[in-house]
Amino acid sequence: MANATSVNPLRAPLRRLIDAWTQVRLLEPASEDLGLDPDLPTLYVLPRSSLSDGLLLEVLARRQGLPDATMPRQLGERTLPAQLSLPTTRRRLWQRRKRSRSPFQSVIEAHRDTGCDIQLVPVSIFWGRAPGKRFGFWQLLAADSWRLTGRLRRLLAVMVNGRDLEVHFGAPLRLAELDDGREPSLTDRKAARLLRVHFRRMRSRVLGPDLSHRRTLIEGVARSEPVRRAIAEQAGQSPRLRARLTKRARRYGREIASSMSYPVMRFLDGVLRRLWNRLYDGVDARGLDSIKALAGEHTLVYVPCHRSHIDYLLLSYVLYTQGLMPPHIAAGRNLDMPLIGPLLRRGGAFFMRRSFRGQPLYSAVFKEYLHRLLNRGHPLEYFIEGGRSRSGRMLPPRPGMLSMTLDSFLRSQREGGQSLVFVPVYIGYERILEEASYQRELAGGRKRKESPLALLRIVRRLREPHGRVALNVGEPLSLSDFLDRAQPDWRSATSPGEEAPDWKRTAVTELGETLTRRINAAASLNPVNLVALGLLATPHHAIEATLLERHLTLLVELGRENAAALPSGEPGDWIEQTQALGMLKYQPHALGDLVTADPAQATLLGWYRNNVLHLYALTGLTAFAFRHQARQSLDDLERLLAPSWPVLMREFAIAPPASFRKALADTLERLAAQGLLERDAEAWRRTDSLTGEEQLRMLGRLMQPPLERGYLLLSVLLNEAPGHFTHDALTERTRQLAERLARLTGRDSPEFFDARLFAGLVQSLEAEGWLRTREGRLYYGSRLREGARRGQTLFDPALRHRLQRIARHTEA
């Protein structure tokens, strides 16, 4: 295609052929979102001269109602082509390197002669992008990649990948904003430079960085300075040992490194498309526009919550369908099994051992491999929780991968690398594949080792209903901006070869907590977890259908401000959908239909309730305060709840409000707006409505389990002198008492006495300064005693007596 769309008798029939043959799989943004000024002339800019791209652009402009891409523009005495392409350096075997004339000089001169502004719209077209849509030799050969393609290959791309097209329109550039009055050649170079940067970022966003050959990458890792230093420290002066360790480093590299393969990614795309259509009713993806704005310019690190093995596949699939490069994924070595491991490795997974302790060479190889991925701009994905959540709640973040990412970022900044942005992702299911194994493990069963046979057993469940999936992107976090706030002098804090800075551990801890809060903040509500919130808040997991419907309406209204999305339909539809998934029983009755859950269903519903319980933490805590006190002033409530709230925020990974008092007052107003509380002079009191009182009680029961766990732990701790317990001893003793309480009260909920919850509770008390550790022992003072005393008043006398009786079983 020439820079001017000259008259060509073949152009019209070729355009009709392109129109009939091609099909665009993804086109963004929509024409109405492009922001074009209809009163200004529009010129389209392509990254290279291509007849096929030009014809397709003409077709798309007509289809989308965009300014015509065929007819030249007349500005004064100058005629400008509707399409331009960036100048390139052409080389022929028989000619010297020749640079084509820039197309922008005539445009700049026309702008200056007429004073009319001109819009330049960059257009990126991908014919069967390299991580492809379908598997096949010809599709692979003809797919777009980072290499420039010749005419024969472009013709093949049109023939083979004509129905696998992605088109991305860039934001229009105004020539008046680019032209600063200097020589036209300078403005010309400025426009070309800006457009080249745009096209390069777009190709990086869609295709990812150019993939290095795996063997070359592993060899580079083995020969890197950090790995050679680790080898030298172990080998000493022995050449033979040095050679053996070098071979071991290469073996470690082969064990770790992914082998991303375009054919395999094509195959996985086809398999996953069929899997989602068969397994789920649909995937609701939200917030991806924020990623598209960052991709190509920043290194992206996706940090999803980890609820299911499907998480690995779901995020990559959604990113691909939205025109983004799938990430390299950190996977546990337990998944590197026969058949499955090689497939995952070629789909972008790299494998890591559970622990690096006592393996300095393996640690050096893994860190160097990770650094090279990040430094080259490859998108990355890992789970900061470490493993899948068996309880359904967000687990405390593990420091390992975050620490290595921070080390790599500090090193890359010294080497002039690009910025790094974390992308928190919330994934919510209406039904997971692993529900049976989670129930077994929470009940005390051993975790079974992954194997191909175990995964094949899951195939039998593909015909069962699993509802929908939500994938929500949270607020991205720039690592440099985070460090500017947490450690303003971080850029000068370290030099090459220095030990890790003193502030690193604190920064990694704060980074992990910030990311978990942003993941939880992106949670959305679905029918299953709404029904779970309502049904499990009843004493015997049984409720009248009409009352449950009213309570679901209440939960939606109270969650509207915090949830990223709400379910469509009516409460009756949500109950019916949860029943279709096998998680409750609907019992018709002459005096009113009943909704019930047996013990197994209640345990399963608890997992889905825990996905979103954090959205109602402050609401539930406030409602619980009215359990046996009918009237409370705001001052009394603040004094009563302030000690418990920081601990609950840590347990549920909730971002702290700017003012707890204001957040509490807003919660009271919302409860009053729903008819559950009434304003009484300077205080609040329970409503006289029986329905309102029952709903307030159900809201309070949402926070009863964590408050009971905290009460038990404090009672056990205060029954002994400071320094009596170690961290593990206190955790295990309280877990045993919680299990005893669950059995005595008929509460079949294994997650209530999950040891990790008590371990996290002890860590929260330490973080808040209520406990301190000295020589492995836990010590407390008057602040803890006072907080425990005030917390006791939250419980009514009967419940307090029951908890105290359980706590007295503590052995000296």
SS3 string, 318-332, reads HHHHCCCCCCEEEEE
C-alpha count within 13 angstroms, C-beta hemisphere, residue 242: 9
- Asked if pLDDT for residue 253 goes beyond 80, the answer is yes
- Asked if pLDDT for residue 668 goes beyond 90, the answer is yes
DSSP labels, 328-356:
EEEEEGGG--TTHHHHHHHTTEEEE-S--
- Asked if pLDDT for residue 452 goes beyond 70, the answer is no
CATH for 703-807, among 3.30.420, 3.10.590, 1.10.287, 1.10.10? 1.10.10
Q: Are 523 and 563 in contact (CB under 8 A)?
A: yes
Question: For the ranges 114-123, 151-160, 308-317, 366-375, which has the lowest average pLDDT?
Answer: 151-160
Beta bridge partners of 166: 26, 126
Residues in the chain: 812
Express as a percent the part of the chain with pLDDT over 90. 39
- Within 10 A of 315 (CB to CB), how many other CB atoms are there? 22
Question: Going by DSSP bridges, is the β-strand pair 83-85/78-80 parallel, antiparallel, or unpaired?
Answer: unpaired
- Asked if pLDDT for residue 657 goes beyond 80, the answer is yes
Confidence of residue 88 (pLDDT cuts 50, 70, 90): low
Where in the chain are the domains?
Answer: 11-207, 214-521, 527-701, 703-807
- Asked if pLDDT for residue 467 goes beyond 60, the answer is yes
CA angle 725, 729, 730 (to 5 degrees): 70
What is the number of H-type helices and E-type strands within the chain?
Answer: 34, 26
Q: Are 467 and 581 in contact (CB under 8 A)?
A: yes
- Asked if pLDDT for residue 801 goes beyond 80, the answer is no
pLDDT tens digit sequence for 172-206: 988 888 887 777 777 888 888 888 888 888 887 77
**171-180, 186-195, 546-555, 753-762, range with greatest mean pLDDT:** 546-555
The pLDDT value recorded for residue 16 is 86
Structure tokens at 580: 């279709």
Structure tokens at 683: 């205080």
- Asked if pLDDT for residue 139 goes beyond 50, the answer is no
Q: Are 708 and 758 in contact (CB under 8 A)?
A: no
Which residue in 610, 689, 712, 696 sits closest to 653, CA to CA?
A: 610
Q: Are 520 and 612 in contact (CB under 8 A)?
A: no
- Asked if pLDDT for residue 108 goes beyond 50, the answer is yes
Which residue in 486, 466, 470, 469 sits closest to 478, CA to CA?
A: 486
The reported pTM is 0.81
The pLDDT value recorded for residue 8 is 66
Mean pLDDT of 208-216: 66
The enclosing H or E element of 473 equals: strand 468-473
Which residue in 65, 68, 54, 175 sits closest to 120, CA to CA?
A: 175
Question: Going by DSSP bridges, is the β-strand pair 119-127/328-332 parallel, antiparallel, or unpaired?
Answer: unpaired
- Asked if pLDDT for residue 304 goes beyond 60, the answer is yes
**146-150, 547-551, 597-601, range with greatest mean pLDDT:** 547-551
The pLDDT value recorded for residue 2 is 43
Question: Going by DSSP bridges, is the β-strand pair 349-352/420-429 parallel, antiparallel, or unpaired?
Answer: unpaired
> Can you list the alpha helix ranges (DSSP code H) found in 674-726?
690-702, 704-718
- Asked if pLDDT for residue 430 goes beyond 60, the answer is yes
Confidence of residue 130 (pLDDT cuts 50, 70, 90): very low
pLDDT tens digit sequence for 272-299: 777 777 788 888 999 998 898 888 788 9
**2-16, 273-287, 315-329, 464-478, range with greatest mean pLDDT:** 464-478
Distances (CA, A) of 376 to 217, 233, 296, 415, 673: 11, 28, 11, 12, 53
Mean pLDDT of 669-698: 91
Distances (CA, A) of 488 to 22, 152, 479: 53, 55, 12
- Asked if pLDDT for residue 339 goes beyond 50, the answer is yes
- Asked if pLDDT for residue 95 goes beyond 50, the answer is no
How does DSSP classify residue 752?
G
Average pLDDT, the chain: 84
DSSP labels, 391-447:
SSSPPPPPSHHHHHHHHHHHHHHHTTPPPEEEEEEEEEESS-TTHHHHHHHHTTPPP
Specify the 3-state DSSP secondary structure of 771.
strand
Domain 214-521 fold: Glycerol-3-phosphate (1)-acyltransferase (3.40.1130)
CA atoms of 128 and 437, how far apart (whole Å): 40
pLDDT tens digit sequence for 598-650: 988 998 999 999 999 999 999 999 999 998 888 999 999 999 998 889 989 99
pLDDT tens digit sequence for 716-752: 888 889 999 999 999 999 888 888 888 777 666 777 8
CA atoms of 392 and 431, how far apart (whole Å): 12
Mean pLDDT of 250-259: 92
CA atoms of 752 and 701, how far apart (whole Å): 13
- Asked if pLDDT for residue 74 goes beyond 90, the answer is no
- Look-up of token digits 């929908």: 468
Sheet holding 594-596, edge to edge: 542-544, 594-596, 585-587
